[in-house]
Amino acid sequence: MTDTTFKYYIIYKPFGMLSQFSKEEEGNVTLADLKMTFDKDIYPVGRLDKDSEGLLILTNDKKLTDALLNPNYKHWRSYWVQVEKIPTENAIQRLNQGTLIKLKKRSYKTQPAKVALLATPPKLPQRNPPIRFRKEIPTAWLQVSLTEGKNRQVRRMTASVGFPTLRLVRHQIVDLTIGSMIPGQIKSLEKAAIYKLLDLNKV
């Protein structure tokens, strides 16, 4: 396969959509429901769970996929995370230093992260369906950046320090961002551009 046959897309994965093309159950909403027909060799790089939104890369470039999923390369992924209640400084410090979560019934200590309380909510499209607010419980937004991606890790992390996740949006991988994209939107990128944004030229 030559470089000219490689294709690169980013999408804003909507809430409720699976990060795959196959429908395992009737009623599943998948990447096949996007308003575009992709070549059969195009696959998502990693995944966002059904309840999460935001930046997802699709490509047939296995070098890019392998590099982004290889834990040795430490690519930063950043999320906007709406949580119940207002996180304390102690909770944020614990998230930054690494916190214990449950993975497959075992305890796992997360690697150091970059977590900060946002002064104002990020500008995002309304979620469909919207978050169910409770008047007596305030909410806050965090920016959480990680170099690892365990199953439902961000949700497990915020829950472990007492602040359950209500909404989770991945907005950035290294320097590649969703910008002003809306849920379901697709953008095509050139190899040189996406490799530069993902800092893959040295890989």
- Domain spans of the chain, in order of start: 3-71+175-197, 76-173
Per-residue pLDDT, averaged over 63-90, amounts to 94
In which band, very low, low, confident or very high, does the pLDDT at 1 lie, cut at 50, 70 and 90? very low
Per-residue pLDDT, averaged over 126-142, amounts to 89
Per-residue pLDDT, averaged over 120-136, amounts to 89
Least confident range of 75-79, 104-108, 130-134, 140-144: 130-134
- Residue reference for tokens 């915020």: 158
Does position 139 have pLDDT exceeding 90, yes or no?
A: yes
State whether CATH 3.30.70.580 applies to domain 3-71+175-197: yes
Catalytic residue among 3, 41, 49, 199: 49
By the 10 Å C-beta count (0-12 exposed, 13-18 middle, 19+ buried), 139 is classed as middle
pTM for this entry: 0.93
Q: In the chain, what is the straight-line distance between the N-terminal and C-terminal CA atoms, in Å?
A: 19
88-93 contact pairs (CB < 8 A, 24+): 91/161, 91/162, 91/163, 92/116, 92/117, 92/142
* Mean of all residue pLDDT scores within the chain: 93
Strand-pair category, 53-59 with 165-173:
parallel
- 76-173 has the same fold as 3-71+175-197: yes
Cis peptide before 44 (omega within 30 of 0): no
State whether CATH 3.40.630.180 applies to domain 76-173: no
pLDDT digits (tens, 9 = 90+) for 39-51: 999 999 999 999 9
* Cβ-based neighbours of 194, under 8 Å, separated by 6 or more: 8, 10, 57, 64, 176, 200
Bridge partners of residue 114, in order along the sequence: 145
Does position 201 have pLDDT exceeding 60, yes or no?
A: yes
Residue 61 annotated in active site: no
